[in-house]
Every structure is written in structure tokens, then in C-alpha cells.
């Protein structure tokens, strides 16, 4: 379950940023987790609940943005929505695509006290 290691990394980032801001509490954390990031959200949510107990994130409000997959075809230069990473271009059926959006996995913002 790599979701736990991802949650632990997010916790490390939050602790580090709170320390830099001389903050004792994080009120809100905004995450961006694309639909093509490979994160299973049920596993992520379970890991989140367990990992933040007793930490600076325990009472924080978590906001998760889920950018949808988008790609452009290198063959026909069309842009399209992408549901699965390895789906072909719906216009020319080429597998030579460039994923533009949906692989994101980042801490967007923290609101600290």
C-alpha cells in the first residue's frame, strides 16, 4: 500500500512548512491528486485517517482537488479527456500521446496558526 508512504510524505511536508512558519497548528491543507496519479482514494483516505492521529494535521480541514486526465495526441495533434493512462487517442487510435493533466500529486497550500 504505497498510499501510506505518500500520506507520511505529506505529513513530513506539512510539519516542515509549519516549522518554517513557526506555527503550532495547521488549520487547512489543500492537496491536488490527479485521477491518473495511481492513487487509490479509498486506501489513501484510510491511511490518512490512521496516520494523522496525534499529529499537527489531526484537526485540520483537508481539501482534495482531483484534476481529470487530459492528453494530446502526438500523431493527429488532437486534445482529449483521458480516463486511463494507456488509452489510445479517440480520434486516430494512436498510443503516442502526451499526458497534459491528471498525474498531479502535490500539496497545494497550507493554512497555519
Domains along the sequence of the chain with CATH: 2-68+101-112 (3.30.2320.50)
3-state DSSP assignment of residue 53: coil
- The per-residue pLDDT for range 34-72, each reduced to its tens digit, is 999 999 999 999 999 999 999 999 999 999 999 999 999
8-state DSSP, 87: P
Cell numbers 489510445 correspond to 88
The backbone region for 98, taken as left when phi is positive above 0, alpha when psi lies in -120 to 50, beta otherwise, is beta
For residue 104, name the pLDDT band (cuts at 50, 70, 90). Answer: very high
Per-residue DSSP letter, 109:
E
Percentage of the chain with pLDDT > 90? 96
Amino acid at each position: 500500500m504505497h498510499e501510506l508512504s505518500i500520506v507520511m510524505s505529506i505529513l513530513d511536508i506539512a510539519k516542515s512548512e509549519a516549522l518554517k512558519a513557526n506555527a503550532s497548528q495547521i488549520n487547512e491543507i489543500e492537496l491536488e491528486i490527479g485521477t491518473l496519479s495511481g492513487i487509490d482514494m479509498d486506501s489513501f483516505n484510510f491511511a490518512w485517517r490512521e496516520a494523522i492521529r496525534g499529529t499537527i494535521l489531526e484537526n485540520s480541514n483537508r481539501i482534495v482537488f482531483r484534476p481529470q486526465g487530459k492528453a494530446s495526441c502526438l500523431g493527429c495533434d488532437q486534445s482529449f479527456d483521458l480516463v486511463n493512462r494507456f488509452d489510445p487517442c479517440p480520434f486516430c487510435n494512436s498510443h503516442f500521446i502526451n499526458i497534459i493533466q491528471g498525474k498531479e500529486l502535490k500539496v497545494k497550500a497550507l493554512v497555519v496558526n
